[in-house]
Amino acid sequence: MTLPMTLDALIPAPFGFIGVYCHADNTHSAGMDEIHLLQHALPVRTPAHPRAAAWAAQIEAYLADPNAPLQAPLPAVGTPFQQRVWQAMRAIPVGQTLSYGALAAQLGSGPRAVANACGANRLPLFNPCHRVVAQHGLGGFMQGHPAGLAIKHWLLAHEQQPKYTPR
């Protein structure tokens, strides 16, 4: 996946940065908005796209509390099969995982097809592909990016942490 030259929002995260890029065309490509998990900061557009601000607020809330709801303002664009996989990923509760094989069995598919759909996911926190793991280990993340497994490990550990809820 090629990153845009500038992003619409950049959110600091414990593992680096989360970048949000919103396509300018609000017709057919609006669903092509992307979330990037990054090690280094990239330039940010000014002013930010209106959708980017909404996404950034949700991401910041998630980073503070993994139980904060994440609801993508627009659906991601993908094949019907990818949409089914992403919908199934959204059903995996925070703090839990499911293997590629188990998710594939739910969908009547194969683990490799599920892994490919995970790799095509442009909204990795909203469609939580980090919750899909190999039968014996973490599996892949971010299409083999060198920092991918460290980020996946951080996200899974983050979701295991109990958060203080004031009464």
Nearest to 132 by CA among 86, 64, 65, 74: 86
Which has the closest alpha carbon to 34: 44, 18, 42, 22?
22
Whether 118 is catalytic is: no
Q: How many helices (H) and strands (E) does the chain have?
A: 5, 5
In sequence order, the 6+-apart residues with CB closer than 8 A to the CB of 139 are: 100, 115, 132, 133
- Active-site entry in 88, 129, 142, 156: 129
Query: What pairing do the DSSP bridges indicate for beta strands 98-99 and 132-133?
Result: parallel
Q: Which of 21, 39, 38 is nearest to 30 (CA)?
A: 21
For residue 128, give the nearest of 76, 87, 67 by alpha carbon: 87
Q: Which residues are catalytic?
A: 129
